[in-house]
Copies of this chain bind each other. A is one copy, B any other.
Amino acid sequence: MAQGIDDVIARWHRYMDGELPDGLDQLLADDVVFYSPVVYTPQRGKAVTTQYLRAAAGTLAGGEGGTFRYTKEVLAGDTAVLEFETSVEGKYVNGVDIIRCDDAGRIVEFRVMLRPLQAINAVHEQMGRTLAAGG
């Protein structure tokens, strides 16, 4: 199992670096569940999870000159926790991606938490605009 999550996270980093354009389609299980840092209701399925992860990447990575970087990586069993720092609209953002995979090396759970409070509000507003624009 530990081998599985190592491989998933290696592919996740390649996706985040722009080296796997269809990476999410390979990485996500059909029945993956996305847990938003803002909203209580779990978002179920590959389509909606892909939409959220793309919007989150756009908001958090910040494009060229973005300050997004992973600061801790803790992998064990079927689960990885990746801690990151970035800034959104000039506000410091600290967060975690909690990623769980199945035996086939597909992501079945993707959970995001953010701190501090002003970061969550900034990300919430920016992602709302991105999702409303269909991005």
Contact = CB atoms under 8 A, between A and B. Distances in A.
A92 to B, nearest CB: 6
Interface on chain A toward B: helix, strand, loop, or mixed SS? strand
Interface residues of A, number: 30
B77 A74 contact: yes
A96 interface: yes
Interface in A77-135: 77, 79-81, 83, 92, 94-96, 98, 111-118, 120, 124
A120 B77 CA distance: 29
The oligomer's copy count stands at 2
A52 interface: no
Contact of A74 (B36, B75, B94, B114): B75
A116 to B, nearest CB: 5
B96 A37 contact: no
B96 A96 contact: yes
A69 interface: no
Contacts of A74: 74-77, 79-81
